[in-house]
Structure 1
Amino acid sequence: MPPSQPDCEWIEECVEICTARTFFVEDRGVRATFRNPSGKQIRKIHYDGCYCKVREARQSDFIVSLLVKIDVIVELKGSDRNLTGESGAYEQVESTLAMWEEDENRSPRIAALIIYGKIESKKKLPGRIPSAFAQKLALEARFLMTHRRLLLIHENGEKQFNFNDFLRSRDAR
């Protein structure tokens, strides 16, 4: 199978190493884009349905790593309706975190990122955006308090990420 993008190569089943200055993970039109200005080796694990062999578990789509520094669990969702609930993005990130913390291939620090495709709710009125924003802030705060780890939630295409966004320091240099 060819790599998922230029400047990436498969190093084992479900795991790519990328050196591109900008790289991405994508699923059904929803994409998280990361900047890698130094061209460092970035590990991209295709987690759900590939690396994670537990069939009954709902897991996050990818784990993107700045090797030996930080892993970012990435869940991509089609809309904001799927942020919470039995098979929602938040629950998938929590489940993946629990399993990944036990994996010998993990980095010392772990953070999470949820990207959703569009705002889609019963109320498509001007007041909907602040409601989605409030839910986003509440989930980020709950994750930090519960797991003592950073979770960022953004709409598709809203931002390109650096590993420093998750480290909250200059450790990624």
Structure 2
Amino acid sequence: MNKKCVEKLSHSKITVEENGMKVTFLNPNRYEVEKIHIDGCLEKTGSGQGRCDYLLKDHNAKEYFIELKGSNVSKALEQIEASIKRWSDKDKKPKKEALVIASRYPRNDTKINNLKKQFRAKYATEVSIKTRQMEKKL
């Protein structure tokens, strides 16, 4: 793995942001986490198809797959799914969570609700979708 794409951090707040979309991880115990920049760093080819923006691994080896998106939440979930298949630690089988921060999205979209159920069943992964920003406690 390219070391320039991986940061080990132990700040009380760890932020991932692009284009006005932001996730802040609250880390009051200052555990060491790995923030991995996938799209544009680990994987530079193509136009961002098939990979999420970031992966954050916490002190319990839980994996947070993060996509900072405009309004195409279905596409964001496709990118996260491809990233889980490629970057999740298959040996340890960690808990996973998919985080999508979008500029906007329809809250009662049947397709998105079905995709959330599919993630739970297929990858044991919870999906959280928020508009513009999100906070998660580690």
**1:3-82 alignment runs, 5 A limit:** 12-52=3-43, 55-56=45-46, 58-79=50-71, 82=72
Cα distance in 1 between the residues matched to 2:10 and 2:77: 29
Tell which structure's C-alpha radius of gyration is larger. 1
Alpha-carbon distance between aligned partners in 2 of 1:161 and 1:153, rounded to the nearest angstrom: 12
More strand by share: 2
Matched, 1:162 2:125: no
Q: How does 1:87-126 map to 2 (within 5 A)?
A: 88-101=75-88, 108-119=94-105
Displaced runs of 4+ in structure 1, greater than 6 A? none
Contact 1:71–1:109 at 8 Å: present in 2 too?
yes
- Give the number of the structure with larger relative contact order, counting CA–CA contacts within 8 Å between residues 6 or more apart: 2
User: 2:134 aligned with 1:143, yes or no?
Assistant: no
Shift in CA distance, 15/62, structure 1 to aligned 2, threshold 3 Å:
same
| CA contact 1:67–1:107 (8 Å) conserved in 2 | no
* TM superposition score normalised by structure 1: 0.67
Partners of 2:22 and 2:132 lie apart in 1 by 6
Q: Match for 1:114: what amino acid?
A: V
Letter in 2 for 1:92: Q
Matched AA of 1:39: R
Opposite residue 134 of structure 1, the aligned amino acid is: N
Count of aligned residue pairs for this structure pair: 133
Q: Alpha-carbon deviation of 1:118?
A: 2.7
* Structure 1 residue 152: Cα displacement: 1.3
Q: Per-residue deviation at 1:31?
A: 0.8
> Does the CA-based 8 Å contact 1:44-1:63 persist in structure 2?
yes
Taking the aligned partners of 1:52 and 1:107, their CA distance within structure 2 comes to 23
Structure 2 gaps of 5+ residues are none
Q: 1:143 to 1:100 in 2, by over 3 A?
A: same
